[in-house]
Structure 1
Amino acid sequence: MNRDILQRIDAFAYRNRLAEVMQAPVVTIEAGAPLTAAATLMAQKRIGALAVLDGKGRAIGLVTDRDIAHQAADPQNLAQPVGGVMQQDVATLPPDAFIFEALTDLRRHHTRHLIVADRASGAAIGIVSMSALLRLRAEDALLLAADAEEAPDAQSLKEVVAALPRLAKSLLAEGVPPRQIAGALAAVIRDVYARVAVLAESLMLAREGAAPAHWCFLVLGSAGRGETLLAADQDHALVHDGYEDDYPWFEKFGLHCSAILDQIGIPFCRGDVMASNRECRHNLDGWRKRIGLWVASDDDIALLNADIFFDFRPAHGEMKLAAELRAIAAEIGRQPLFLKRLAASIGQIEPQLGLFGGMKTRGGRLNLKRGGLLPIVSGARVLALSLGSMALETEARWEAARMAGRVSADDLVRIADAHDMALRLMLTQQLADIEKGRMPGPEVEVKRLLDFDQERLKDGLRIASVIDLIVRHALV
């Protein structure tokens, strides 16, 4: 563990996203062009890499100045086509990924360039380089993610998880917006999940041999959505491409993952939404059937499971399987009756304001997750499913709804303010509780809030209480 990182956090890498720093548009070259043409184009553009795209604009290769330099020892080699020397394992991230995620991916792929690709289509929209990112002062911020990526054992991962509150406190002191802090925490947690999968797989390889099929370990819930605070429990699943819907290997793998996560400080899911649970492990056909059952059911538990599942994001393994599962989920999840049931379930969330405008507290605390955050998050998910949007973050989902004319700009401003307020107050309370040795949770101590914050909180709870009406109107 890099002990001094938390004393030297540079918030830039956690605050800024690739869309803000990428070079766009991507400069491209045909796979059949000679290396001499690639070298000339790089010199003209003063860049160090060119992308090779397929017919749909997706990156299938990358040729760099170093690739050309390695061939220049024999001038005859420079006549060969780009496709013969290009790197085919191209690292890609969406434009809303944080800079420190890019730095981690560049290290993981042992490369100096990364393609920024549209999340839905996979089309290349920009490119970033290691040298450019380092010039932008990322410095020590990536080290926490690197600690997770390179952790040799559970104890090392436990230290990473234990460092998250101090990371959050540092970013909050830097003035980083709460949504971006939650996104940074979620990104580190996803790196932790990825490393847990690696450690679990190594145990399986030693005791059971190789997996019977290709697989992908998925993180669900707030970490998948990119909005983790400091009281998250486990939410994960697994998809594979085996002929059978499940195999004993995957059951044992899931049990290892759950046990390691609990050991390092991410407790077992109280709802058993974990890959150790048979219901959370399927091949693609199995997941199609499982999602179909959720969609067809009006059972509250089925709706809750669907809610958690639709926020999944790949953590480790065969990423193509996660993309195929996302397409299946988006297709089935657009059924109008299912969306209406999801919207109606938002209205069943108990409001945290009383009849005369007073806040409903218990022991002086108000459950801000239930009364404020949950309706906003759930409403955004319903609207994203209705639009076929691939966005996972709540902010991006609401914005997609506004762009589609489903939500007014005025409502969006109020919702965004309530979302920010809920995240900030919950995060601040969790940090205060941790410092006092208390387990962090979703409740906020109302009396410690300034009068201004109490009034803003009431405004946020009011808009949260009518989210179901806004969503139902948008679905008409």
Structure 2
Amino acid sequence: MTAELQDVLNFVSKQSPLNELPSASAHYFVNHSEMVYLTAHNQADALQGEEKYLYLVRTGIFDLVDVSGEVITRLSTGDYFGYPSLLTGEEIQSHLEVQSPGLILMLPQISFDFLRREYKVFEQHFVKAHKKRLLSSHYQERSKGWSERKISKLMTKSAVVIEPSATIVEAAKVMQVEGVSSVMITENERLKGVVTDRDLRNRVLASELNPEMPVSSIMTPEPKFIFENNRVFSALHLMLKHNIHHLPVLNEERVPLGMVTSTDLLRLQNSDPVQLIGQLYKASSTQELKLLAKEIPVLLRSFSNTVEDISFVGTLLSGLTDALMSRLTELFAKQHGKAPCSFSWICFGSQAREEQTLDSDQDNGLIFCNDIKPAERAYFASLGEFVTSHLVECGIRACPGNIMASNEHCRGTVDEWTARFHNWMTAPTPQAMLNCKIFFDRRYICGDQSLYQDLNVQLGEIGQQELFFAAMATDISTNSVPIGLFQQFKLQRSKDKSKYLDLKTRGVAIINDLVRIYALKCGISKANTQARLKALKDHMQLSKRDIYNLQDCWRFLTQLRLRSQIEQHQLPANCINPETLSSMERHQLKEAFHLIKQAQQACVFKFARGSL
């Protein structure tokens, strides 16, 4: 046997399920397969022709793309494809797109069938893989039935608009002719307000208002809205949170495209998570909130099995936490009176990124107006203590670093918060870098949103600080992925000697840090990691391949992380024993860590040259 053939045999022998079978199976696989080198120039020939094959990727990176152009999965070393058609006899509908040229082993149908007959384990492996693929597709389609669908796909009518100067009766006639229950008030194609049939009843008929008055006199000004590419779940959450029934849909230029109603959305779903969010917003007492919160862990564990995009679980859990926070602030006001001045409740960290897991703790704070009086601060100290302590009772752990509104250093005016950020950015000490990792991922929850917007405007005026970016990049480089020489895992050990990898600290957190620094550099205000990566495609800081790799790694690690929490392997939180993974998953995990390490090195080179 030649050295080259021996090398191929060594590779094949390590792949599941051949690594569980007699060595003769791997010899048969190698002797009856052929190898092709696939590049962008010959990718169109792959998966074509009358004969079907089992494909095994030896080197390279390839995207398996369906007929609609959607990427089904990314394939790399150790990944199989082509087996669904071998098992079912159906024609292959998908095609390959080469991301990095490489070698592929092709085992013809007749040889695949022989191994199926000879080795039951071989057959079961691919039957299970096919079932998993079908199940995944089933859940994907099921989730896209409502939660994953884009809002723009639900609109059946274009925007029904009218000028602010139009009369109330003219607005009513437009609604009657168009057969709609609301109309948007626009000026120069920009949304100014909304009028609904309920407004006509309550603000006109019940008040005996002159119908010849301008429609602007009865509109709801500056209404809540949603962008066309947001998901149905986001719209439902927004409606439940603010108790609204009509939601304008805008494009990225903020031009109205249409309207969706609560009836439209609720008709599409029958979801326990959405119902629970609604119940949280309507809870009449802290005791009722605590009882409802007990349902969250069980609900999340069952719901995680019904979604294809695992990031949606983080969005859902963050939505539940948002609902708890919002309702607790309202219950506090009922008990202690209205706030003495305007305020904005905000969150940081994983909740702000909408990436919470079952192990996430609290990170939150309060913004006040700049003219707050010293005596008025006591109200907000009590509010912070009330909300954070009840969140703990609802199952959301207190922040170990005390990043909570109960801490006076997490409360402040717009100017005070701006000064804090300015100090961190101009004097980037290790503690400042830790603060930046938390506080630069922020999101508005409830209260006066204009205060939150004012803070963002002031932060945007601080300007780009090269020293700050160099310090951030240097800090990112200090956290290494758990891969050593020869691509071996560098494992940690628990007190009972169990071996594990920390997927959060040594994986997901590094990606979050990398994406954050690029987003800040480009002035991207979004907090969610996937949303930031999507927005980065419009900038020149990262190549599309790098963005895709980071998206892929983040999803894969998050999937493993959530699975470890749900299955509860008696390991530290966010950790997994790689020995419990399949050979394919172990390979994918090593590849993910390798790509993260490359991204770290590129980040340091870009931002911290000469500062290390």
- The TM tier, using the shorter chain, reads 0.7 to 0.9
| Aligned residue in 1 for 2:548 | 413
* Partner Cα separation in structure 2 for residue 357 and residue 399 of structure 1: 30
Q: Please name the residue that 1:92 is paired with.
A: 225
Pairing partner for 2:450 from 315, 320, 324: 320
Are residues 1:228 and 2:360 paired? no
Question: Aligned partner of 2:548: which letter?
Answer: V
User: Alpha-carbon deviations, 1:227-276, whole Å to 9, x = none?
Assistant: 11111111001100042586222222222222111121111111111111
Q: Mean Cα displacement is larger for which, 322-331 or 46-55?
A: 46-55
Contact kept in structure 2, 1:216 and 1:240, CA below 8 Å: yes
How far did 1:342 drift?
Answer: 1.4
Matched, 1:465 2:593: no
Alpha-carbon separation, structure 1, partners of 2:439 and 2:156: 34
Provide the rounded CA distance (Å) in 2 between the counterparts of 1:189 and 1:463: 32
Moved more, 450-459 or 237-246: 237-246
In structure 2, distance between residues paired with 1:282 and 1:294: 16
Paired amino acid for 1:454: R
Q: Aligned partner of 2:154: which letter? A: V
User: 1:387 and 1:337, CA in 2 relative to 1: closer, same or farther beyond 3 A?
Assistant: same
Question: What's 1:41 paired with?
Answer: 174
Deviations 1:319-372 (A, max 9, x none): 111111122233336433212221221111122111221112223210011121
> Separation in 1 of the partners of 2:462 and 2:157?
35
Q: Which of 368, 371, 386 is matched with 2:506 structurally?
A: 371
Q: The residue matched to 2:295 in structure 1 has which SS?
A: helix
The structure richer in helix per residue is: 1
Query: Conserved in 2, the CA contact under 8 Å of 1:35 and 1:82?
Result: yes
Alpha-carbon contact 2:511-2:550 (below 8 Å) kept: yes
Q: 1:474 to 1:255 in 2, by over 3 A?
A: same
Aligned mates of 2:154, 2:461 — CA distance in 1: 33
What SS class does the counterpart of residue 218 from structure 1 fall into? Answer: strand
Aligned to 2:345: 217
1:90–1:74 Cα change, 3 Å: closer
| 2:477 pairs with one of 343, 347, 351 | 347
Equivalent residue, structure 2, for 1:112:
245
Q: How far did 1:285 drift?
A: 0.8
Q: Determine which of 523, 528, 532 is the counterpart of 1:393.
A: 528
- Mapped contact 1:104–1:145 kept (Cα < 8 A): yes
Structure 2 portions without partners, runs of 5+: 1-141, 493-497
Residue 235 of structure 1 contacts residue 274 of structure 1 at CA under 8 Å; is this kept in 2?
Answer: yes
Aligned letter for 1:414?
N
Report the TM-score, using the length of structure 1 for normalisation.
0.87
2-structure distance, mates of 1:382, 1:302: 14
Per the alignment, residue 416 of structure 2 pairs with 286
With a CA cutoff of 8 Å and minimum separation of 6, indicate the structure with the bigger relative contact order: 1
Structure 2 CA distance for aligned equivalents of residues 264 and 109 of structure 1: 22
Distance 1:40 1:397, change over 3 A: same
What CA distance in whole angstroms lies between the structure 2 residues aligned with 1:204 and 1:72? 36
Question: In structure 2, do the counterparts of structure 1 residues 475 and 56 end up closer, same or farther at CA, with 3 Å as the change threshold?
Answer: farther
CA drift of 1:116 comes to 3.6
More moved, 156-165 vs 289-298: 156-165
CA distance in 2, matches of 1:290, 1:73: 50
1:149 aligns with 281
CA distance in 2, matches of 1:442, 1:418: 16
- 2:566 corresponding residue in structure 1: 431
Whether the 8 Å CA contact 1:99–1:138 is kept in 2: the answer is no
2:367·2:414 contact (CA, 8 Å) conserved in 1? yes
2:164 touches 2:187 (CA, 8 Å); kept in 1? no
Matched-pair contact (CA < 8 Å) for 1:380–1:394: yes
2:537 is matched with which residue: 377, 380, 402? 402
- Structure 1 unaligned blocks of 5 or more: 1-9
Q: Which range moved further: 340-349 or 325-334?
A: 325-334
Q: Which residue of 1 aligns with 2:116?
A: none
SS at match of 2:365: strand
What is the identity, as a one-letter code, of the residue corresponding to 2:304? L
In the alignment, the residues of structure 2 paired with residue 103 and residue 168 of structure 1 have an alpha-carbon distance, to the nearest angstrom, of 18
Aligned partner (choices 436, 444, 448) of residue 576 of structure 2: 444
Over 3 Å counting, the alpha-carbon distance change for 1:333 and 1:465 in structure 2 is farther
Q: 1:23 to 1:243 in 2, by over 3 A?
A: farther
Offset of 1:80 from its aligned partner?
3.0
Please name the residue that 1:295 is paired with: 425
2:517 is matched with which residue: 375, 382, 385?
Answer: 382
- Shifted more, 417-426 versus 190-199: the winner is 190-199
If each structure's strand is expressed as a fraction of its own residues, which one has the higher value? 2
Match of 1:261 among 385, 391, 394: 391
Q: Percent identity of the aligned residues? A: 26
Show the counterpart of 2:123: none
Instruction: Select which of 25, 28, 32 maps to 2:165.
Output: 32
CA change 1:467–1:163 in 2 (3 A) is: farther
CA RMSD of aligned residues (A): 3.0
CA shift for structure 1 position 286: 0.5
- Post-superposition shift, 1:468? 2.5
How far is 1:96 from its partner? 5.8
Higher Cα Rg: structure 1 or 2?
A: 2
Distance change (3 Å), C-alpha of 1:189 and 1:40: same
Q: Is the 8 A contact 1:50 1:63 kept in 2?
A: yes
| CA spacing shift, 1:78–1:199, aligned 2, 3 Å | closer
Q: Check whether the contact 1:219–1:237 (CA below 8 A) recurs between aligned residues.
A: yes
Check whether the contact 1:26–1:51 (CA below 8 A) recurs between aligned residues: yes
Q: Equivalents in 1 of 2:441, 2:163: separation in Å?
A: 37
Matched, 1:277 2:407: yes
Asked whether the equivalents of residues 164 and 230 of structure 1 are also in contact (C-alpha less than 8 Å), the reply is no
The 3-state SS of whatever aligns with 1:412 is helix
Partner SS state of residue 79, structure 1: coil
CA distance in 2, matches of 1:316, 1:155: 21
Q: Which residue of 1 aligns with 2:236?
A: 103
Q: Say whether 1:308 aligns with 2:438.
A: yes
Task: Please report how far the alpha carbon of residue 475 of structure 1 lies from its aligned counterpart in structure 2 after TM superposition.
Answer: 5.6
Cα 1:307–1:74 shift into 2, 3 Å: closer
Structure 1 stretch displaced more, 442-451 or 152-161:
152-161
CA contact (8 A) 2:349 2:439 kept: yes
Instruction: Give the CA deviation at 1:165.
Output: 2.9
Supply the distance in 2 between the matched residues of 1:21 and 1:343 (Cα, whole angstroms).
42
Aligned counterparts of 1:49 and 1:308: Cα–Cα separation in 2: 41
- Which residue does 1:79 correspond to in 2? 212
In 1, distance between residues paired with 2:195 and 2:584? Answer: 55
Q: Verify the 8 A CA contact 1:29 1:38 in the aligned structure 2.
A: yes
1:123/1:377 CA distance change after superposition, 3 Å: farther
Cα offset, 1:16, TM superposition: 3.6
Question: For residue 373 of structure 1, what is the amino acid of its counterpart?
Answer: V
Question: Structure 1 35/286 Cα, relative in aligned 2: closer, same or farther at 3 Å?
Answer: same
Classify 1:151/1:66 alpha carbon distance in 2 versus 1 (closer, same or farther; 3 Å): closer
Which one-letter code corresponds to 1:115 in the other structure?
P
How many residue pairs get matched? 458
Distance 1:301 1:97, change over 3 A: farther
Q: Is the 8 A contact 1:431 1:440 kept in 2?
A: no
Shift of residue 160, structure 1, vs aligned partner: 3.8
* 1:382-422 residue CA offsets vs partner (Å, 9 max, x unmatched): 11111111222111211222221221122222111101111
Give the distance between the partners of 2:482 and 2:472, measured in 1 at CA.
20
| Greater Cα offset, 246-255 or 188-197 | 246-255
* Greater shift in the superposed pair: 75-84 or 285-294: 75-84
Q: Which amino acid aligns with 1:350?
A: S
Check conservation: 1:14, 1:184, Cα contact below 8 A. Answer: no
CA offsets 1:280-305 (integer angstroms, 9 cap, x no match): 11101101111101111221121111
